[in-house]
């Protein structure tokens, strides 16, 4: 294992047999890359977590309460504000079965 410490208080670890590297930042942020699993994960001290599974081609994000989130992909956008309101903009929008739930005739 290779372990390095830096003057700013951050630490870097690399485990060659596991193909795993981890970066611990002074502010509590942690970044992990697992080359065997093709998985990247970035965690923040405030509770936000971003993860990308390259093998599964899947991205996930979890944010703490009060956060806002915006994503743009292939010309479409999704925005979620701090109250949980969602704004979707795209060429075609298909809603899940049962939506909208606030219509009395459904």
Report the residue count for the chain.
106
Structural domain boundaries of the chain?
A: 2-64, 66-106
The string of pLDDT tens digits covering residues 13-67 is: 878 777 777 888 878 888 888 888 888 888 888 889 999 988 888 989 899 999 9
Which pLDDT score, from 0 to 100, does residue 97 have?
A: 67
Q: Among candidates 44, 40, 51, which has minimal Cα distance to 26?
A: 44
Q: Give the predicted TM-score (pTM) of the model.
A: 0.61
Partnered with residue 43 across adjacent β-strands are 30, 49
- Least confident span in 26-30, 74-78, 102-106: 102-106
pLDDT of the residue at 85: 93
């Amino acid at each position: 294992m290779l372990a390095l410490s830096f003057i700013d208080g951050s630490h870097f670890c690399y485990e060659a047999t596991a193909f795993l590297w981890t970066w611990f930042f002074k502010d509590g942020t942690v970044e992990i890359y697992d080359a065997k699993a093709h998985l990247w994960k970035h965690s923040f001290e405030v509770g936000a977590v971003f993860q990308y599974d390259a093998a599964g081609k899947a991205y996930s994000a979890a944010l703490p309460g009060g956060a806002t989130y915006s994503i743009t992909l292939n010309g479409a956008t999704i925005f979620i504000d701090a109250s949980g309101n969602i704004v979707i903009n795209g060429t075609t929008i298909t809603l899940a079965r049962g939506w909208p739930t606030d219509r009395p005739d459904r």
